Structure 1
């Protein structure tokens, strides 16, 4: 049986690199906590979060990344959704020959439990801020933000 095209037009036989990441949707007082991703000339506003490190659970990664990128400690609620996205080799931040990237993004509801707002130093984001929900669409967003906020609204 021939390989059927998968998402993004890739056949199931095409090897892909996989990146698993975890994020938190933190909303309070009508505002959502966003971070400004700024890496290798690519920028946009996103949710606090990032890739899992070795032997780290998705929950551990989300809590660690929220702290690193925003200065806040957070507790996680339920998984709001999982996004499975394929990135063509030419569009990857770190190309690996002709291999596409399968980005698996796990999004949790979360709430601040302590800490103070702070910007990440030496990482992939350079600013964190509370953005009123009715102003989010005015910002240049990464694709995950509108998707995750839709999940958050469904779970409220």
Structure 2
């Protein structure tokens, strides 16, 4: 298959956080858009005029209730989704560019997102994360 020109597919820039507390627990959010919800890193789409770091701080606050301070860049992950595999009905391919940071909590309290793409935020012992139904981003950056 020949690759389409960049104007012929949708690109979404997103920022996510790996938050680990002093008890070696990982903060995850339950993504509710797929048919069967999956655990994901807190984060999401960066707004058009928003800086990446501002986006990850906003997204973590929306999905978990916590204020975070982003730290070290852990990596950038890309994924390509065919039109027939997208959640939204479209004839366009999708390329997701996901930037992942370490982050530490500096305020707030655990709260579930209301009317968003996640239903719940929860702490999990790091050694239990591999047993969860989770997205590939969690597998890659946490385990």
Q: 1:39 aligns with which of 33, 39, 49?
A: 33
> What's the counterpart of residue 81 of structure 1?
75
Shift of 1:41: 2.9
Q: Is 1:11 aligned with 2:3?
A: yes
Gaps of 5+ in 1: 1-8, 151-156
Q: Hey, which bits of structure 1, 4+ residues long, moved more than 3 A?
A: none
State how far apart, in whole Å, the 1-side matches of 2:88 and 2:64 are. Answer: 25
Shift of 1:12: 4.8
**Equivalence map 1:56-135=2 (5 Å):** 56-97=50-91, 99-135=92-128
State how far apart, in whole Å, the 2-side matches of 1:138 and 1:27 are. Answer: 17
Shift of 1:149: 1.9
Q: C-alpha deviations, 1:34-79, integer Å up to 9, x for none? A: 0000026352000000001120111111000100100100000021
Give TM-score scaled by structure 2 length: 0.92
State how far apart, in whole Å, the 2-side matches of 1:22 and 1:95 are. Answer: 24
Q: Classify 1:136/1:40 alpha carbon distance in 2 versus 1 (closer, same or farther; 3 Å).
A: closer
Give TM-score scaled by structure 1 length: 0.85
> Rg: which structure is higher?
1
Gaps of 5+ in 2: none
Number of aligned residues? 141
Q: C-alpha deviations, 1:83-106, integer Å up to 9, x for none? A: 011011111111321x21000000
